[in-house]
């Protein structure tokens, strides 16, 4: 299978938050023009977002399949079977199917698709919208290095794109797909702490966001272990170690590990349904 990326037609089945995130990342790469993208969903609720970018919308999943080389399945996990039962007979081995549904395994996707279908399973996260996503994908039985390269190239503007074994996808879901929500909860709690100490809410939230952004950027760009960066902030007898001690008393590390484990287990459970 070979594709000329400049003429590539990309379809999305599902028009929600994650479809919008990937579509935005995709367009930012400049490799795909809005006129080459089409999106379907049963309601017109989210169509305005795509129409504003010059992307075509439809209520027909069939139309998306018939007009696309690459099809992103961006519906909730429990709808994957329904959608694939509807469109599977139209899918050819010349097309590439990419599922982002949490928990839904490659084996399940291949079972629902015609034999020899090229399938990739992708787990993105919402910061694709700002080109700072963390994405991990795995190849199905009939997806070669070519399809993997094409996906990497298409998603290059979505953020970090890694390929790994399928067994890592549910873990990545617990760590990163869901993980941004843990960070938001932490941001909210940090700001609440500052509000409790007397800072106005809007200033506290702006500073909490910038603190998390700065910490993340330094962590990523320095390549240092987080424990080293944390140690760099701690003056002996200073403020930070008092704050860290309070976090340790609350079991922050253990609770965070529990959160990654719980979300990973839930992804695995969704795959068994």
Decide: is 76 part of the binding site for ligand NAI (CB under 6 A): yes
Nearest to 161 by CA among 171, 152, 170: 152
Is 97 annotated as ligand-binding? no
126 binds ligand NAI (CB under 6 A): yes
Q: How far is CA 175 from the centre of its chain?
A: 11
Residue nearest ligand NAI (C-beta atom): 16
Is residue 61 marked as binding? yes
> Minimal CA–CA distance to 118: which of 127, 109, 129, 126?
109
CA distance 198 to 177: 34
Least distance (Å) between residue 173 CB and ligand A1CAB: 5
Contact with ligand NAI (CB under 6 A): which of 68, 117, 125, 157?
125
Residues in the chain: 273
| Closer of 132 and 192 to ligand NAI (Cβ) | 132
Q: Which of the listed partners (ligand NAI, ligand A1CAB, none) does 27 bind, with a CB threshold of 5 to 8 Å by partner kind?
A: none
The least CB distance from residue 143 to ligand A1CAB, in Å, is 22
Residue 79 near which of ligand NAI, ligand A1CAB, none (CB within 5-8 Å, type-dependent): ligand NAI
**140 in a labelled binding site:** no
- Which residue(s) pair with 26 in the sheet? none
* Least distance (Å) between residue 107 CB and ligand A1CAB: 19
Q: Which of 9, 10, 11, 13 binds ligand NAI (CB under 6 A)?
A: 13
Contact call for residue 173 and ligand A1CAB (CB under 6 A): yes
**What is the crossing angle of helices 252-272 and 239-249, to 10°?**
50
102 counts as binding ligand A1CAB under rule CB under 6 A: yes
Q: Residue 178 interacts with ligand A1CAB (CB under 6 A)?
A: yes
Binding partner selected for residue 42 from ligand NAI, ligand A1CAB, none, CB under the kind-specific 5 to 8 Å limit: ligand NAI
Residue with tokens 């995130």: 21
Per-residue x/- track, 150-189, ligand NAI (CB under 6 A): ---------------------------x------------
How many whole angstroms separate alpha carbon 209 and alpha carbon 183? 10
* Site membership for ligand NAI, residue 71 (CB under 6 A): no
Q: Is 257 annotated as a binding residue?
A: no
Could you tell me which stretch among 30-38, 41-49, 109-117, 182-190 binds ligand NAI (CB under 6 A)?
A: 41-49
51's torsion region: left (phi>0), alpha (psi -120 to 50) or beta? Answer: alpha
**Residue nearest to ligand A1CAB as judged by C-beta position:** 177
Does 41 sit near ligand NAI (CB under 6 A)? yes
Residues at the interface with ligand A1CAB (CB under 6 A): 102, 173, 177-178
> Which residues are documented as binding site?
13-18, 61
């Amino acid at each position: 299978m070979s594709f000329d990326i400049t003429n590539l037609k990309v379809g999305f089945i599902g028009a929600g938050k994650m479809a919008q995130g990937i579509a935005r990342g995709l367009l930012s790469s400049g490799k795909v023009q809005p006129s080459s993208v089409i999106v379907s969903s049963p309601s017109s609720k989210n169509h305005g977002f795509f129409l504003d970018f010059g992307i075509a919308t439809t209520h027909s999943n069939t139309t998306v399949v018939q007009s696309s080389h690459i099809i992103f399945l961006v519906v909730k996990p429990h709808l994957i079977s329904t959608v694939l039962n509807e469109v599977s007979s139209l899918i050819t081995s010349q097309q590439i199917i990419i599922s982002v549904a949490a928990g839904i395994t490659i084996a399940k996707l291949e079972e629902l698709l015609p034999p020899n279908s090229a399938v990739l399973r992708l787990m993105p996260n919402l910061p694709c919208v700002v080109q700072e996503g963390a994405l991990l994908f795995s190849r199905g039985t009939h997806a070669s290095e070519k399809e993997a390269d094409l996906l990497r190239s298409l998603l290059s503007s979505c953020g970090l794109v890694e390929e790994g074994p399928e067994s890592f996808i549910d873990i990545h879901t617990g760590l990163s797909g869901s993980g941004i929500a843990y960070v938001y909860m932490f941001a909210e709690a940090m700001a609440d702490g500052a509000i409790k100490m007397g800072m106005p809410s809007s200033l506290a939230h702006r500073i909490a966001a910038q603190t998390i952004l700065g910490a993340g950027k330094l962590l990523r760009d320095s390549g240092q272990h987080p424990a080293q960066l944390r140690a760099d902030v701690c003056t002996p007898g200073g403020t930070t170690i008092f704050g860290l001690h309070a976090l340790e008393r609350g079991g922050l590390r253990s609770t965070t590990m529990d959160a990654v484990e719980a979300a990973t287990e839930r992804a695995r459970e969704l795959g068994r349904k």
